[in-house]
Amino acid sequence: MSEQDRSIIAAKQEKFDAKQDARDSRLSLRKTNEEVIRITLRNEAGEKCKDYLSAMGKCAQENGLMVVFKCRAQNKAMSDCMDLHYNEKIVEEHLLKKGYLIKK
């Protein structure tokens, strides 16, 4: 195979790869869309857990630097609530429901 043939094959392969990359990017969920969905779901979880969030915030204001030690119960309750309403499984289910992911 001559050098010219190799360069032609390499050029065709690059062109094919570029087309394939463009096709894949059109078919996949863009990163910014996924981030918007995650932010929306996190905000919804925050609304559902607002009582726990405000209790943690109040405890933190009252205890200052001792927040780590004195607000463990509030922090645990807040974390449990947020984990219940916002986790990776919920995000994936939402993306599946919206048609952004294909179940494997």
**pLDDT tens readout for residues 41-59:** 999 999 999 999 999 999 9
Contact 104, 37 (CB under 8 A): no
Q: How far apart are alpha carbons 30 and 26 in whole angstroms? A: 8
pTM: 0.64
Question: Domain map of the chain by residue range?
Answer: 31-98
Give the angle subtended at the CA of 25 by the CAs of 44 and 101, to the nearest 5°: 45
Q: Which residue has the higher pLDDT, 62 or 35?
A: 62
Query: Which of these ranges, 9-13, 60-64, 91-95, has the smallest mean pLDDT?
Result: 9-13
Question: Which parts of the chain fold into alpha helices (H)?
Answer: 3-27, 31-48, 50-63, 67-70, 72-85, 88-98
SS3 100: coil
Amino acid identity for residue 69 in this structure: F
